Amino acid sequence: MPLPPLVEPVSSLSDAERARTARHLVLAGLGELGQRRIAAAHIAVVGAGGLGSPVVLALAAAGVGTITIIDDDVVELSNLQRQVMHRREDAGILKVHSAARAAAALSDTGVVPVAERLTTATATTLLRGAHLVIDGSDLFETRVAVAAGAESLGIPLVWGTVQEFDAQVTTFWNAPPPGHAPVVLADLYPADSVGVVPSCADVGVLGALCLQIGSILALEAIKLVTGVGEPLLGRVLVIDALRARQHEVPLRAARTTHDTVSVASAEPPIAVIGRDEIADRAVIDVREADEVADGMIPGARHLPLAQLLADPAAVRGPVVVVCRTSVRSRRAAEALRSVGVEAAVLAGGMQEWMTAGAPLVVPAPVMAGDA
């Protein structure tokens, strides 16, 4: 359902800005009025990395009036596979300064660089003055703080996450216009339900997918600012990049006076079992060859994730799937369940197994000519 425009328009556009945004001005439903709303908008972007990079580029190119960019990190060479706003010569400088340079090269958008880590204590102060916030951070504790800040200010939160080959995008807003139900982060992830979320450094991320999700985040923000289209409030867009599939999951506020319940998925969750529960199941290790070289669970079968996903029906259950933490094993278990194979995930993965000092076996090296 469409929402009313979030931002009042500026009185007029300069001749230069009219020329630069000419293709927006002729868009049915957006037009000059919508572009003047974009020019009046102040958007806060948390994170100038994989998601923040395409977000900032898209918003600056669109002609957003002001972008506050919040990030305390510096550019590293390993960022450049996905963080397309930065350049090799930016290595070692603050990301917010690199972002300001990139935005200035595109338009007259004003950039407010904030080289500070957003926390629960600072979120409201750092986000105050923005019409909406886009969360492109990569730590869940930061995401919780961003959500709390947005809720305290009553502004929309455009939210996205990318890990490995998968992504989610939605919009939260605890104070939407009348006739629209409020939805907040706790409706998708109830308090204390998430646990330890691995970072991109742990499990990797497909750089091109970051560009896609960042573009969607920027589009959601523009829709809210101008009142065109239907924002993702009450809907979670789920993207599987490997299969080129995307679908929506409805998300509604499920809070009563006393509790909060997630209704983002109708399917039962993948079972997570402990070390003492795996005796009656085959163990499948979906890590890569260089990872299993350091040790495997005794009796486990090595089946890299890509190989398993190519033919999950070849596996016979019941099985317990293990990876370094649990992200890849969950993906494998979901694929197995989709073809009727009973599958669970080992709690904490190999990281917890090794921390506990559980037994390991080092696999024999594969020799040339071995099948």
Enumerate residues 6+ apart whose C-beta is below 8 A from 370: none
Rg, Å, the chain Cα set: 23
Least Cα distance to 120 among 134, 101, 140, 100 occurs for 140
Strand intervals (E) in the chain: 42-46, 66-70, 110-114, 132-135, 157-163, 166-172, 235-240, 245-250, 271-273, 282-285, 301-302, 319-322, 343-346
Phi, psi of 243 (to 5 degrees): -100, 5
For tokens 């260089």, what's the residue? 290
Catalytic residues: 200, 323
Enumerate residues 6+ apart whose C-beta is below 8 A from 112: 66, 67, 68, 69
Question: In the numeric block, which tokens belong to residue 163?
Answer: 């890990």
Cα dihedral 186/187/188/193 (nearest 10): 50
In the chain, the amino acid numbered 315 is V
CA distances to 59, 99, 114 from 104, rounded to whole Å, are 12, 9, 16
